[in-house]
A and B are shown apart, each in its own frame.
Chain A
Amino acid sequence: MGSGHGTELNLTLKVWRQKNTKASGSFETHQLTGISTDMSFLEMFDVLNEKLIHEGKEAIAFDHDCREGICGMCSMYINGRPHGPKNGVTTCQLHMRSFKNGDTIVVEPWRSAAFPVIKDLAVDRGAFDRIIASGGYVSVNTGNARDANNILIPKDAADEAFGAAACIGCGACVAACKNGSAMLFVSAKVSQLALLPQGQVERKARVLKMVAAMDEEGFGNCTNTGACEAECPKGISLENIARMNRELTSAALTYTK
């Protein structure tokens, strides 16, 4: 596994500590020795937390779940970048071999008015859930499962929809954006349904509702810097944002209800 297999690192960690949403947080510095380069970033945090617990101190709160890069729960802003220095990976898939012995690593939570800090590095991404609930679905009659080929979908449309659907809703786009905009997330969710025949019925209402919900949550405005696309662990494309701009403009011009 690359260079330095089995070697160990001594690191300085500057971690954001914040008691609760209302408290104002600050950085706490920790020295770590003997960190294996084979560890994931979260495993390094597990080691640090074990150490803190042994010392009778409070463990650092951070979000994680699957630890295999598909759930979208982990959310650390590492050395100035969401999910750390590697492209196309979540924090749980970031390994300590990406760091050098003696490095100082600054770890912060996602910083966004729409993602209030719950504690330390854990933020509340409920804003994303509320945006999805506002229109990120298709209404279908339940009943027997339909034949898979009942509705024909062109391969390129299916591929593009799948590309958009790869979004795991981690919020790195918001964290990366200098404006704290959620456009990449919302556009991925709008796109995956707008591209498929099943999504046509609610197409116009959906984009209007979801953009309204996004604006209500207090996210910033997109200035097309492309930072979101560059930092997205799932490679969601800026084309989705352009598509949402088209969808919203056309819906605003023609939707009558």
Chain B
Amino acid sequence: MSTGFLKTSVGKKVLMGLTGLFLVSFLVVHVSLNATIFMMDGGQTFNSGADFMAHNPVIRIVEIVLFAGLIIHILQALTLTLANKKARPVAYAKIDGAANSSWYSRSMGILGSLLLLFLVTHLSHFWIDTKIAVFKHQEHNTYLEMKEVFSHWYVVLIYLVGVIALCYHLLHGFQSAFQSLGLNHKKYTPLIKKVGVWFSIIVCLLFAAMPVCMFLNIVQ
């Protein structure tokens, strides 16, 4: 069944939802760890956390799964978008999209592309350096690297754009994933939608606060 299931339009949705929620779970870990910079201990807690994430073998394996999930999510989105374009070969001359849906629910592809561009920037800022340090068995002070990277206003700006794209992507994606998995219930769906909105806002505000506070030297 499995290959057959993933070939159906429902199966593709389920895969998008599952990988999406998996990526959401990563965000929880990422934002929690990074929020330790607000402990104002000169990055001590943060660096020990980052060190654990860089060396723990379980995390290493999860990291590979994470990249796999991300790649599946992106490739699937690309395939689906191309198929959807084919489903409407002649475009409407006039569309009143605002009358029936939110702009961000209709812009998941653009928001996702922005996120991907941001991710490339983000990984080149931190992830690659950390990897090199691990391979060379060197000490790596991620906290100091953060301070350095976020001392440039244009970098802070890029991060803010990335975080805003993430926020809107999550505003639709969080509850949409549950719907795709068939987890819709009169009792729980309103709660899932509320949690999705608060999750998107809180996570993104925290992420946005990091570069901003470092740039403004609020975190020292």
Contacts and interface: CB of A to CB of B under 8 A. Distances in A.
Interface of A: 14, 27, 77, 79-81, 85, 106, 108, 111-114, 176, 178-181, 183, 211-212, 214-215, 218-227, 230-231, 238-239, 241-249, 252-253, 255
B87 A220 contact: yes
B182 A178 contact: no
Given A224-B172, A249-B10, A106 B93 contact: yes
Contact of A214 (B9, B102, B108): B9
A241 B87 CA distance: 19
B137 interface: no
Nearest to B8: A211
B121 interface: no
Contacts of B100: 81, 176, 225-227, 230-231
Given A215-B7, A225-B101, A245-B10, 6 more contacts: A108-B93, A111-B91, A180-B87, A225-B105, A244-B10, A253-B5
Interface of B: 1, 4-5, 7-14, 80, 83-84, 86-97, 99-102, 105-106, 108, 172, 175-176, 179-184, 186
Contacts of A183: 9
A223 B5 contact: no
A111 B10 contact: no
A108 B90 CA distance: 11
Contact of B90 (A111, A181, A244, A247): A111
Contacts of B7: 215
Nearest to A226: B101
B183 A77 contact: no
B184 A242 contact: yes
A212 B8 contact: yes
Counting chain B CB atoms within 10 Å of each CB, the highest count among A77, A79, A249 belongs to A249
Contacts of A178: 84, 97, 101, 106
B87 A219 contact: yes
A108 B101 contact: no
B182 A245 contact: yes
Contacts of A238: 179, 184
Contacts of B84: 178-181, 220-221, 223
B184 A243 contact: yes
A226 B99 CA distance: 11
A113 B88 contact: yes
A250 to B, nearest CB: 8
24 contacts: A14-B93, A27-B93, A80-B97, A108-B93, A112-B88, A113-B87, A179-B87, A180-B84, A211-B8, A220-B83, A220-B84, A220-B87, A221-B9, A221-B84, A221-B87, A227-B97, A227-B100, A230-B100, A231-B99, A244-B10, A245-B181, A248-B5, A248-B10, A252-B8
A27 B89 CA distance: 17
B5 A81 contact: no
Contacts of A180: 84, 87-88
A233 to B, nearest CB: 13
A250 B172 CA distance: 25
B58 to A, nearest CB: 29
A88 to B, nearest CB: 12
A77 B95 CA distance: 9
Nearest to B102: A225
A211 B12 CA distance: 12
B24 to A, nearest CB: 15
Contacts of B99: 80-81, 85, 230-231
A255 B14 CA distance: 18
Nearest to A237: B184
B95 A221 contact: no
Counting chain A CB atoms within 10 Å of each CB, the highest count among B4, B97, B186 belongs to B97
A224 B99 CA distance: 15
Nearest to A16: B93
Contacts of A227: 97, 100-101, 106
B176 A223 contact: yes
Nearest to A109: B90
B94 A181 contact: no
Nearest to B79: A221
Contact of B9 (A80, A215, A243): A215
A79 B9 contact: no
Counting chain A CB atoms within 10 Å of each CB, the highest count among B80, B88, B179, B180 belongs to B88
A230 B98 CA distance: 11
B92 to A, nearest CB: 6
